[in-house]
Chain A
Amino acid sequence: MRYQTVIGLEVHLQLSTKTKAFCSCAIDFGRPPNSGVCPVCLGLPGTLPVYNKEALNSAIKVALAFSCQIQEHTKFDRKNYFYPDLPKNYQISQFDLPLSRNGHLEIISEGELKRIGITRIHLEEDAGKLIHGSNSSLVDFNRTGVPLLEIVSEPDIFSPQEAFDYLTTLKNIIEYLDVSDCDMEKGSLRCDANISLRPEGSKELGVKTELKNMNSFKGVKDALTFEVIRQTELLESGQAISQETRLWDAGKGVTVAMRSKEGAKDYRYFPDPDLTVFVIEQEAVKRIKSGLPELPKEKMRRFIKEYGLSEYDAKILVNSRRDAEFAEECLRMYPGKDKKPVVNWLIGPLLSEANNRKLSLCGLKVDKQELINLVGFVEKQEISNLSAKLVLTQMIDTRKPAEEIIKENNMLQISDSTKLEAIILEVIRDNEKSVNSFKEGKTNALMFLVGQVMKRSAGKANPKVVGDLLKRRLTGA
């Protein structure tokens, strides 16, 4: 039987506000243990939590960017459970009146545009951090109360690759909104996945497992891929899937059922009496909406329209907001109407330098004007493409202007035909065989001769000019 994979993702996102969700403790993950806590986030009796205005604004921005409906009435509830990283024995979260519902995210997965539903985006708070020792566990409450958003997708994701693309797109948008670090390794973005299989064509969902403990997007994809195989094997051998939480072991590349068998979760949600309700005015939502930055999808469309970029090129450039802004400034500064030369440099040599150095495009800190100058030298055929790439590397290493590097290294191409003629005559004299085969109609021989001229000019001859000159001399045209 063929099975269809059905995946839903829950993303927890730390909002990068200055202070925590319900108290004024500064958020700073570098500080020593338990130095960023106060009576409110420690859950001491008699304290009163008050929500952070900036966190609410950021949350509304995210909800709008995912096309969610902002609910007019929203409130906080207590989610009750016992765990040592939770000082109050409840987490402040949202239950039946979340901030927003019914959104969607458009992703491009394996060349196809797909819309993934967003069930809800709600507000909650983070727990503390546990460090497990040999005889005891240690608790640091610095992270307790950091504002979180939970973004819950519909079970609209049908393959591990789609899950990966969903996460990449989501991260891209959040990065544009500038409301979170989105760093999975640092834990500012966390993702749990629900996955089940069903016979192809069936409408009913199969028994799902919940996967946790993935700490990269690739980890999510790998854990899901493993789980598809595991569940398929079970189903094919007639066994049942048990509904359980499984932890991803990245080292071994397997998911393992959690040892502690928790019964059906019973969180006894109830409205938090310490926090009053929120009535979100349409006007406020409109104001926040009009202040949203241009999002990747719109930026991509505009790049295609304004600068004549291909969809492929535009997609690469909008991958990060800062890189897109860097790229756009370069495109604007370039005097020519046809922007293709700059684009080719941005997504060609510049991007590969960035990848080699594990930096972003703008992280290379290349001066925009200098980059434009360099492209200009290439376009005017004053230096060869190959030399230009060397110049770029040196520009990054030494921060020297392009022109200085070109002069220092004597890289200007020889396009001057009198200088080139001398070398060409030499080459014709020394390569009689190739000259003859060219004359007999073997055009490949010309490439060989051009190569010889390039070699004798130490790579500085302009290959196009050399080709023309050679042809003229050999054919007498």
Chain B
Amino acid sequence: MAQVFHRSTNSIARVSIFGAVFIVVGLGWLLDTISRSSYVTQARNARVQPVAFSHKHHVGGAGFDCRYCHTSVEESAFAGIPSTKICMNCHSQIWADSPMLAPVRESLKTGRSIEWTRVHDLPGFVYFDHSIHVAKGVGCSTCHGRVDQMPLTWQENSLQMDWCVNCHGNPAPFVRPRQEVFNMAWRPPPDQLEQGARLVTEYKILPPSVLTSCSTCHR
């Protein structure tokens, strides 16, 4: 019987076995890129809110401190979202008739909460605590980016596990003096690695062996 395949198919077959490796690796890379992309993590995607609340105007423009509104960020796991009463501390008099603030006035009148859309949302099996990070010199802007420049709030980082572990494995490049935690404009000094290492000892930050152990975040 005559040969069905030409001789050259032998080399084509060999090359395609070799090529399959690239295809598999390529597919793997594609999946990894997709799972880290902002399409999946929703990073840098500003959410629509019932009131167009702008950190850019309140923090960047007017210079208010995060703790005026996020009152529990220093003491508890949850940073706290301001109540309607807190908005009304100022908006009882300024922008008091603005249609932009109609939902806030409505909420004050009826007693129903304003329903903000969550921007950050870790899965239920991850434990996170603001107070410890604030107390050990991890600044808001390290995790949340330049909130003072956001007209609508977005999530700056992926919040994926490797992002958390990247810092927990070696916090020195990120740790800043405690009094700078709320400073949005803080930039690491040129000798950050030495400064950071000094602060890690001074603040008695737990060693990476503890901070990267699974039960720190999955408990």
Do A and B bind? Answer: no
| Chain A positions near chain B (C-beta within 8 angstroms) | none
